[in-house]
Chains A and B, each alone.
Chain A
Amino acid sequence: KAGVTQTPRYLIKTRGQQVTLSCSPISGHRSVSWYQQTPGQGLQFLFEYFSETQRNKGNFPGRFSGRQFSNSRSEMNVSTLELGDSALYLCASSAWTLDTQYFGPGTRLTVL
């Protein structure tokens, strides 16, 4: 079974721009979660989508949004980028909501 894939792997943006990251879960998994990983804050939960609906969310501002498509693929969007948004963004899929999660390799976002 193919693992979780994320595209692109690396991104460089400037402040004020917006960015869209993509995640394809393991086949059959309906839950996709997004995390932000930084050296200072560690791994922080952004939100979870299950069957095209945002089911759970963390404590991030509204600039961070996402969606899930009928094939379970998910996208995360960050608008009005700030320097502090520079991070590794991880996507994880699971068969059930926030159960055992399988992580993708991440997208490294650098905001200049």
Chain B
Amino acid sequence: AQSVAQPEDQVNVAEGNPLTVKCTYSVSGNPYLFWYVQYPNRGLQFLLKYITGDNLVKGSYGFEAEFNKSQTSFHLKKPSALVSDSALYFCAVRGNSGGYQKVTFGTGTKLQVIP
């Protein structure tokens, strides 16, 4: 069965510092990987995705993610955090399970950027 692990429930980072939100996955076949963000009282928003190609994927709001096949990881990164980046971040993987495709989300990581 496919799965996604986000090992940190919360990540605290000072404004202006680089941030990393970790994600590891398990899936049969080639992974399709996504990052979504959920701001308070707002819906889930797409940040970026990896399907194939360059291991470094760039997305919205200055975020990027690094795909590492050997470590089955897809960590989200940003060089300089903003207070407005504070939100709940979800990693997701699309893969085959029991003859169907499905999307499995991680449990989410709350990012707190401290001014």
> A97 an interface residue at 8 Å Cβ cutoff?
yes
**Cβ A101 vs Cβ B46 within 8 A:** yes
Q: Which of A33, A42, A104, A105 contacts B103 (CB 8 A)?
A: A33
> B34 an interface residue at 8 Å Cβ cutoff?
yes
Size range of the chain A interface in the assembly: 20 to 34
> A89 an interface residue at 8 Å Cβ cutoff?
no
Q: Is the contact region of chain B dominated by helix, strand, or loop, or is it mixed? A: strand
Q: How many A-B residue pairs have CB under 8 A?
A: 50
If the complex has contacts A100-B46, A103-B45, A106-B43, are A43 and B100 also in contact, measured as CB distance less than 8 A?
A: no
* Segment of B14-22, B65-73, B74-82, B104-112 engaged in the interface with chain A: B104-112
Write the B85-115 contact mask toward A (1 if CB under 8 angstroms, else 0): 0000010001000001111111110000000
Taken together as a complex, chains A and B put the C-alpha atoms of A23 and B32 apart, in Å, by 25
Min distance, Cβ B46 to any Cβ of chain A, angstroms = 5
**Cβ A103 vs Cβ B34 within 8 A:** no
Q: Which residues of A contact B49 (CB under 8 A)?
A: 100
B binding-site residues for A, Cβ under 8 Å = 32, 34, 36, 42-46, 49, 90, 94, 100-108
CB-based closest 4 A-B pairs: A43-B105, A103-B44, A56-B100, A103-B43
